[in-house]
Chains A and B, each alone.
Chain A
């Protein structure tokens, strides 16, 4: 799994469906594994295949459309709602995406994504529409996501918007740090807290 993120320039896969829940991203029956690997092949399993049959891909589903490839998943409003399963973030990352763009993410999904170096980029509904239009018109449209400057840009037209990210999380993503290292460095403070509050 890629550790650290900075600039990603890629074509995008447009998934224009609202309220995509984590049960669609990775159905519960695939949560029986005890490792973090290999979830990509079951990403959007029931939208991807007819009757759960890998030899029968559903032609109208975007992941089966050979024209659209890339490291950026363009998603619609309220992406990742529902279950807390981090397997959803693992599946998207394992499939090959490094960025998910939406106008609105569910909270737990957003945290899970950040903890797995999958960058959730929240843009305005108007800019999201522009992104969809650009990719619809030309599937080779490049989109640049730059974490340092917190900007997302449609390369061909130069249309651009800035996005928010918590400064602490930004540092983590740029440098490949994870929260657990930080928390472990606070052990003494935590024990002190426990003494004061017991």
Chain B
């Protein structure tokens, strides 16, 4: 029978299925971090259980770490205790930790791929919803809650019901200045923040194939923002050459064996999806959000939708969102003043993102009154940026290059956007208070963020490309 790539990976990982119930799914790699793991370790201790397969667990500290002075002890007591608890748990249970100061430390979804931990055909989980990022390599990767973290630590398995499958095809060629972030913001604006709930999404089509691994990760990362359980992209030469030579990549004979298997991981021609969507790459503009969920996005040249086009039952929420944002229905978004620029998060903090921004700002200055934070996704990204002289370009432009972590993506450490201020952010969530109480977030691509950094306003990056 014709199978999708999802079916091929899923079927291979089912240990057994409960009649009329969920399947017991074997998990190849488990990523953990300081925020969603302590209660799981506590549960294990209470039951007197060891970690079943500690070699299949990768740990890092990212959500709650400071991004300045990372060599000093963490000043804030609760944060320090949480990071220390991770260290103690990893030691007690025999798990390798890439903690603060380690050359591999970074945002969990940046380091997995960067270290070659993430490989096609795997099942991967993490107590974090953006685990979908790893799907860019042709893996089934999804976020779980802390009780499930405990299950995987204890048994390397999870009880899961098979999701429905959706394929989103993006064909054609992107216009200059349009990035993969714009593709995914465009898709979510079309199908809404709940449009893919209950589904696992496969992204396909020529525009997806053309993307680098970094670009693909950005797309899969935001699958959860339309409610999807996860998103994936079939592996190809781009995937294989990205993985080759990374610290945990297979080597020698093992590489050849794995490669042969990876090449079978694609959706068969006549496989069926529960839902299918077609999008033309040419229709996609640089995108920006104006509301308080990632589905509230528009092309930068467009105006914020008028109340008259909003469905009656959605009007109260729409009005509430615009009120929170301090924006007006029907007004253009271009020219909107910006106070902060945040370039970071597991969506857009990889070396390619930093290179793009650096290339754009080289020789330019940040606008007066704008604060610009560049937070690399990992220690390795930071290192690479320094080797390439990107740090100097940022410094000259008045940008702050900080240490790696989640930072203002979720405002859990001290990197918060002050109340009422506007932040253009390359992260993935514009929820109320996400970047700090009453902070106002506009989600966009790294290039659109760079435009705001140098002009102090929302602008159209295409104006800088001369077309």
Contact = CB atoms under 8 A, between A and B. Distances in A.
B35 interface: yes
A183 B26 CA distance: 11
Interface residues of A, number: 54
Interface in B27-52: 35-36, 38-39, 42-43, 47, 49, 52
A82 interface: yes
B144 A84 contact: yes
A19 B193 contact: yes
B194 A78 contact: yes
B202 interface: no
B155 A34 contact: no
B89 to A, nearest CB: 9
Interface residues of B, number: 66
Interface string B303-326: 000000000001011001000000
B177 interface: no
A23 B317 contact: no
A23 B432 contact: yes
A180 B154 contact: yes
Contacts of B24: 183, 186, 189-190
A19 to B, nearest CB: 5
Interface stretch (A66-74, A111-119, A144-152): A111-119
A4 interface: no
A107 B229 contact: yes
Interface stretch (A25-33, A134-142, A154-162): A25-33
Contact of B151 (A31, A34, A183): A183
A24 B431 contact: yes
Interface string B117-133: 00000000001110000
B407 to A, nearest CB: 11
Given A29-B412, A35-B42, A179-B151, A107 B12 contact: no
Nearest to A49: B437
Interface stretch (B13-21, B231-239, B246-254, B445-453): B13-21
A180 B429 contact: no
Contacts of A54: none
B101 interface: no
27 contacts: A19-B193, A23-B410, A23-B429, A29-B411, A78-B193, A81-B227, A82-B429, A83-B429, A84-B144, A84-B145, A86-B127, A89-B145, A107-B163, A107-B229, A112-B147, A115-B145, A166-B161, A167-B20, A168-B18, A179-B148, A179-B159, A180-B151, A180-B154, A183-B151, A183-B154, A189-B16, A197-B12
Given A28-B410, A106-B227, A167-B21, 14 more contacts: A16-B316, A23-B433, A24-B431, A32-B64, A32-B79, A34-B38, A35-B38, A84-B143, A107-B163, A111-B148, A179-B147, A179-B159, A189-B15, A193-B15
